[in-house]
Structure 1
Amino acid sequence: MNVHDKTIIGQTDTPSAAAKFRYPVVDVDIHPRWNSHKDLYPYLERRWQTFLEEYGTRYRHGVEKGTPYPGSQPEASRRDAWPEDGGRAGSDLALMQRQHLDPDNVELGILTPMGPSGFLNPGLAAAYCRAVNDWQVETWTSKEPRLKASIVVPYDDASAAVEEIERRAGDPNFVQVLLLARTAEPLGQKRYWPIYEAAARHDLAVGIHSFGQGAYPYTANGWPSYYIEEMHAQSATAQAVVASLIFEGVLHVAARQALDTAQE
């Protein structure tokens, strides 16, 4: 990947003259990060701020503790992507512009925040997703026209997810609905169909990113010991998602709706 090549040759800050003549890049997976819950407090009701301060976040994965990524690549980030002020990688717009958007000729970047997944408290999950979406607009897309946001939804609560989609639909800051691959049930199940219907109703793409908190072991044989095992399990997760979407009929219904619309 060009980003890593530039790190090796020391060109992360200054694009070469040849970069002006390269094809524009569409990066559909840019991870912005907040440094702590407090970054989202301006967008959270006081009761949820108090809840986070007193109880924190409880996840479906009871054994979840800290980041699964090895120390050589914390939070799956480049070592030079951590801001000098001590913030988390992905938390500084200026650094993102200087290190990625400008030198890699990114014409369009889609933000995919990964934090609020698998919360046990459904009320907190819905409020947190709303806050993350507000934060994306104020912190990122309103300041950088090359960036567009994903609608982060509490996907295991379909009614709350649809409510959030309806709230953001028509806002040019948002271009897709974001789901994760590891969910409470396979993504083709009927409990998730209202999300797909809402996305289709508003002509929004549905993006499914790997990872998530489904409350089940990462592998079919139980919990693995090592990070590399968890990463290999991602392929099986992706296969299960595709199979579920096909055999539960999601893609068939979507194709039929598209055909009916085209014939009208």
Structure 2
Amino acid sequence: METLVNVNESIESTKKITVNLIDCDVHPFMSSLDELAPYLDEAYQKQLNIGKFKNDRLKNQNNGGFTFPLGRYGNPGHVLRTDAIPPSGETPGSDPQFLTKDLFDRYDTTYGILNIGHGTMGAYHNVNLAAEYTRASNDWLYDKWVKSDHRFKMTMEVIPLDPQLSVKEIERIGRKPGIAGINLRVVNIPFGKRHFWPIYEIAEEYGLPIIVHPDAENTAEYSPNQAIGPASTYIEWHSTLPIIAMRQIPSLIFEGVFEKFPKLKFAFIEYGFAWIAHLMWRLDKNWKGLRQEVPWLKIPPSEYIRRNIRLGTQPIEEPFKPNHLLELIQMIKAEEMLLFCSDYPHWDGDNLQRVFLRFPEELKRKIFYENALDTFRF
């Protein structure tokens, strides 16, 4: 049995924060895919090998039957925390009541944005099956979690390989109270391409930001490589995740997405943020010399980034001198870009009482609350 890691302090030793808090990355998990059975027709239950079809003899043979797209890389310990296991002994993050006590009550959380943590089929080759799985996952998340506590808000999943189906899914549930954003998984099509523009159009109309979160990067047939090819180990893959965001942001800017959809916001969650300084400086420098290629841009790339891009704080970078992180934020005027993320219940979550100690109160208020309030639809 794998050993889970314990990275958190006890509830008793954790002080409560002094400002309102919106946690922009909380992961709900299923105990098993069987939780989706009530939301799927029998034909799709059978394809997914769940519900009453779980013990289908043919599905348990290596005969080309369905296999859920799992990640290529395994954490040598475990990606989930031992202190987040609910009293039932189920998967960490699978019990709404325990999560609210263990996380929300501990930090006086105002809202928690739920980003599905059990894996998606965003890069899966069978788009029809992926669409049904996505629809069922959205309904499961809404019924089990959002309805259980007013502090739960959710990002809805869409189907990146089929924008038309994505639009239909947004039209189906995108205006429901409690849905705060759209979770668009990364596939091997850059986000600036017109392929995605129907999704952006309705997202802007509905006032929903696009959330980008690691998941599909290392699963299934339409996953993108991390710039030069697949990593060999979990540590290599995990450490180079920011490359994905660094590739997507120039695509969004130079393809003119933020000129076409000026009110649309993109939040890159769980990629860190210190790399954004290099990217802003490099894009501005190149734009000065090559702007004839992109005459539709009206302002420097860094200004689009400040206006339309948001970044989750986790996993926060740790420079040799802690003050340097604050200086970096101030240098690039990123105070309005950062969103607090706990990444609960993952192993590399950040303790907000420790990592923000040197930040001034005004900046903490923006990171903990105001920036999220301005980004998500509440």
Question: Is TM > 0.5 for Structure 1 vs Structure 2?
Answer: yes
Separation in 1, partners of 2:198, 2:94: 32
Work out which of the residue numbers 34, 38, 45 in structure 1 matches 2:34. 38
The answer on whether the counterparts of 1:44 and 1:127 sit within 8 Å (CA) in structure 2 is yes
Going from structure 1 to structure 2, the CA distance change for 1:125 and 1:140 (only over 3 Å counts) comes to same
Q: 5+ unaligned residues in a row in structure 1: which ranges?
A: 60-64, 259-264
| CA–CA distance in structure 2, aligned partners of residues 192 and 186 of structure 1 | 9
Structure 2: distance between partners of 1:67 and 1:86: 26
1:246 aligns with 2:253: yes
Determine helix, strand or coil for the equivalent of 2:240.
helix
Q: For the residues of structure 2 that align with 1:85 and 1:142, how far apart are their CA atoms?
A: 21
| Amino acid across the alignment from 2:66 | G
CA apart distance, 1:94 = 1.7
After superposition, residues 222-233 of structure 1 pair within 5 angstroms as: 222-233=229-240
Q: CA deviation at 1:152?
A: 0.7
2:194 aligned partner:
190
- CA distance, structure 1, for counterparts of residue 208 and residue 131 of structure 2: 20
TM-score, normalised by the number of residues in structure 2: 0.59
Contact conserved, 1:176 with 1:207, CA < 8 A, in 2?
Answer: yes
Cα distance in 2 for partners of 1:111, 1:22 equals: 23
Q: CA deviation at 1:15?
A: 8.0
Aligned match of 1:94: 97
Task: Specify the alignment match of 2:166 in structure 1.
Answer: 161
Aligned pair 1:129/2:158, yes or no? Answer: no
**Residue correspondence of structure 1 range 72-111 to structure 2 within 5 A:** 72=77, 74=78, 76-111=79-114
Q: In 2, Cα distance between the equivalents of 1:157 and 1:15?
A: 48
How many residues get paired?
241
Aligned equivalents of 1:236, 1:211: Cα separation in 2:
14
User: What CA distance in whole angstroms lies between the structure 2 residues aligned with 1:80 and 1:71?
Assistant: 18
CA distance, structure 1, for counterparts of residue 33 and residue 264 of structure 2: 40
CA drift of 1:29 comes to 0.8
Match of 2:154?
A: 149
The TM-score with structure 1 as length reference comes to: 0.83
Distance 2:248 2:191 in 1: 6
User: Equivalents in 1 of 2:198, 2:224: separation in Å?
Assistant: 27
Report the CA distance between 1:239 and its aligned residue.
0.4
Question: Is the contact between residue 217 and residue 223 of structure 1 (CA under 8 Å) also seen in structure 2?
Answer: no
Q: How does 1:24-63 map to 2 (within 5 A)?
A: 24-53=20-49, 54=59, 55-57=65-67, 59=69
CA distance in structure 2 between the partners assigned to 1:145 and 1:90 by the alignment: 17
CA distance in 2, matches of 1:140, 1:38: 16
SS of match in other structure, 2:136: helix
One-letter code of the match for 2:166? A
> CA shift at 1:145, angstroms?
0.4
Is 1:176 paired with 2:181? yes
Pairwise CA RMSD: 2.4
Q: Which has the higher contact order (CA 8 A, sep 6+)?
A: 2
Residue 207 of structure 2 aligns to a residue whose secondary structure is coil
